[in-house]
Amino acid sequence: MSEHPPSDEIYLDNHATTAVDPRVIDAMLPLMRSEYANAGSITHEPGRRIAAKIQECKEQMLGLLGASGGQLVLTSGATESINLALFGVALHPRQKRRRILVGKLEHRAVLDCAKKLARQGFLVQSLEAITHDNSVQVDQADQAVSERPFRIGRIDIDTLAEALDDEVCLVSILLGNNEIGTLQDMRPVADLCRARGAILHLDATQAVGKVPLGELSLQADLVSFSAHKFYGPKGVGGLLMTDPDLMLTPQIVGGGQQNNLRSGTLNTSGIVGMARALAIASESLESEMPRIYALRDRLWQKLRTSIPGLRLNGPAWNKDFPTDPKDLYGLPGNLNVQFPGVDGQSLMLKVPGLAVSSGSACTAAEPHPSHVLTGIGLSQDQARCSLRFGIGRFNTSEQIDQAAKKLAWAYSQLIQFVA
Ligand SMILES: Cc1ncc(COP(=O)(O)O)c(C=O)c1O
């Protein structure tokens, strides 16, 4: 494997994973070269040095996540964090409540934990999302567009209010859908959960480092994330507990590390890399968000002028980047579109140098159309004709233009064979 990818390759799959930022690699290398002691080896100086460094990283990350008074459990990534959140809350010996609510458009990591809990006797209810309204032509230049297309994929608050009762122990909601980019409006969700005494878990895997979290994370009890989604290394992530005393049943037992919440030797280089990646993301957010937002708009505009009938899946956006990021409806770098009459997989095969996706990375190998796309009201055929683009920090406008050109050419070739 060569150090550099082929020069004509264009990577637009930044929801699946991101390149590690070179500044992050620089921060990690000393941890492998010289400061390699075990953070648990506090009987000697090298061990104490690394233990102090990890503590410093944790405090830095808690601050950047807007939750300085909280606790951060370091994990191998969002999947593990989600397992700890869902099983940790539901299976705690003092847990008396037996109902769990999860969004219908959640990532498989959440859905499969919920399914397993259902097999163990919990009553799991799936919360409907606001669906596609096919009667509205989505056009962000059209200021008269209805409110609905901006909210596609959000949990319907009335449905949540109806479903919540004093039996619900846990509500798990996605902030930043990994396929259609929808950002949930967290405050009403959090207010409802608090009023009913239910623990709120936020899967913020796609949102951390991409949109300002600040007090957003404070609205949830538990927040899951993975470093490799924000230009950090793979295999490291975190579960933020905004209340450090929340009771969770550990899912990995052993050496008793991390207050017994997650045993196992800490991935020190990964943790240092994750902290650096989060710091870089926080510093660059203000300039990066509008730049990526504009690239996404550029791709959409180029595609729709060359492909008749192209449709947007997911929330619409306003042409200009909102002055208040709270008014963002979707992840700035997400674009999910339907190519009328042409299967997404065939399109991808026709442009082999373009790295995009027809679903989430974890389910990309599955033959079934995406549950997210069908969950917002698309037919199975419409879902199969869709592709997801994830635009990130290292993409350029030249790459966007090239990608649009290649796709328009591939589409024109394939559509000829459609009756
Ligand atoms: C929304 C969401 N949640 C959870 C995960 C799982 O993350 P990881 O594979 O890093 O454990 C992903 C990864 O694609 C994701 O997009």
Per-residue pLDDT tens over the stretch 189-233:
999 999 999 999 999 999 999 998 876 667 899 999 999 999 999
Q: Is the pLDDT of residue 359 over 80?
A: no
Shortest-distance atom of ligand 1 to CA 106? 1
Q: How far is the CA of 86 from the centre of ligand 1 (A)?
A: 15
Q: Please name which of 93, 89, 334, 92 lies closest in space to residue 101, comparing C-alpha atoms.
A: 89
What single DSSP character describes residue 183?
A: P
Q: Which of 15, 107, 179, 202 gets mutated to test ligand 1 (max ligand atoms within 8 A of its CB)?
A: 107
> What is residue 327's predicted lDDT score, i.e. its pLDDT?
84
Q: Which of 82, 112, 113, 205 gets mutated to test ligand 1 (max ligand atoms within 8 A of its CB)?
A: 205
Cα angle, residue 84 at apex, residues 152 and 39 outer, rounded to 5°: 125
Ranges assigned E (strand) in 146-283: 168-174, 199-203, 222-226, 237-241
Per the prediction, the chain carries an average pLDDT of: 92
Whole-model pTM? 0.95
> What is residue 318's predicted lDDT score, i.e. its pLDDT?
84
27-36, 292-301, 316-325: which has the minimum mean pLDDT? 316-325
- In percent, the amount of the chain with pLDDT more than 70 equals 92
- Report the CATH number of the 10-20+285-411 domain: 3.90.1150.10
Shortest-distance atom of ligand 1 to CA 78? 11
> What is residue 368's predicted lDDT score, i.e. its pLDDT?
81
> What is residue 136's predicted lDDT score, i.e. its pLDDT?
44
CB atoms within 10 A of CB 291: 17
Q: In the structure encoding, which two tokens stand for residue 305, read together?
A: 């002028």
> What is residue 146's predicted lDDT score, i.e. its pLDDT?
64
> What is residue 362's predicted lDDT score, i.e. its pLDDT?
46
* Cα gap 330→314, rounded to integer Å: 8
Q: Is the pLDDT of residue 177 over 50?
A: yes
DSSP string for 159-175: HHHHH--TTEEEEEEES
Q: How far is the CA of 263 from the centre of ligand 1 (A)?
A: 21
Ligand 1 site residues (CB inside 6 A) read 77-79, 107, 109, 174, 178, 203, 205-206, 226, 228, 360-362
Residues involved in catalysis: 362
Q: Which of 18, 178, 251 gets mutated to test ligand 1 (max ligand atoms within 8 A of its CB)?
A: 178
Give Cα separations from 320 to 166, 328, 388, 399 (angstroms). 43, 11, 22, 21
Q: Please name which of 231, 227, 233, 225 lies closest in space to residue 32, comparing C-alpha atoms.
A: 233
> What is residue 139's predicted lDDT score, i.e. its pLDDT?
54
Give the pLDDT confidence of 270-287 residue by residue, as tens digits.
Answer: 999 999 999 999 999 999
> What is residue 134's predicted lDDT score, i.e. its pLDDT?
47
* Cα gap 252→248, rounded to integer Å: 12
Q: Is the pLDDT of residue 142 over 50?
A: no
Q: Please name which of 176, 193, 115, 238 lies closest in space to residue 372, comparing C-alpha atoms.
A: 176
Q: How far is the CA of 410 from the centre of ligand 1 (A)?
A: 30
Q: How far is the CA of 205 from the centre of ligand 1 (A)?
A: 6
Q: Please name which of 303, 307, 292 lies closest in space to residue 403, comparing C-alpha atoms.
A: 303
- Report the CATH number of the 22-279 domain: 3.40.640.10
What is the pLDDT confidence band of residue 132, given thresholds at 50, 70 and 90?
Answer: confident
Sequence spans of domains, the chain: 10-20+285-411, 22-279
* Strand bridging mode 311-312 / 334-338: antiparallel
Q: In the structure encoding, which two tokens stand for residue 164, read together?
A: 């919540």
Q: Is the pLDDT of residue 37 over 50?
A: yes
Q: Is the pLDDT of residue 144 over 50?
A: no
Q: State the average pLDDT over residues 329-358.
A: 95
Q: Is the pLDDT of residue 366 over 60?
A: no
Give Cα separations from 190 to 5, 334, 367 (angstroms). 43, 25, 35
What is the pLDDT confidence band of residue 325, given thresholds at 50, 70 and 90?
Answer: confident
What single DSSP character describes residue 10?
A: E
Burial class (CB in 10 A: 0-12, 13-18, 19+), 398: exposed
* Cα gap 47→257, rounded to integer Å: 14
Q: How far is the CA of 78 from the centre of ligand 1 (A)?
A: 5
Give the pLDDT confidence of 253-269 residue by residue, as tens digits.
Answer: 999 999 999 999 999 99
Q: Please name which of 131, 132, 211, 219 lies closest in space to residue 173, comparing C-alpha atoms.
A: 219
What is the pLDDT confidence band of residue 73, given thresholds at 50, 70 and 90?
Answer: very high
Shortest-distance atom of ligand 1 to CA 80? 11
Q: Are 50 and 59 in contact (CB under 8 A)?
A: no
Residue with tokens 């190998």: 365
Tell me the one-letter amino acid at 283: E
Tell me the one-letter amino acid at 36: Y
Shortest-distance atom of ligand 1 to CA 16? 14
Q: In the structure encoding, which two tokens stand for residue 269, read together?
A: 């280089």
What is the pLDDT confidence band of residue 367, given thresholds at 50, 70 and 90?
Answer: low
Q: Please name which of 146, 115, 120 lies closest in space to residue 133, comparing C-alpha atoms.
A: 146
Q: How far is the CA of 175 from the centre of ligand 1 (A)?
A: 12
- State the DSSP H helix or E strand holding residue 82, giving kind and residue range, or none if neither: helix 78-90
Shortest-distance atom of ligand 1 to CA 360? 14
Q: State the average pLDDT over residues 116-128.
A: 97
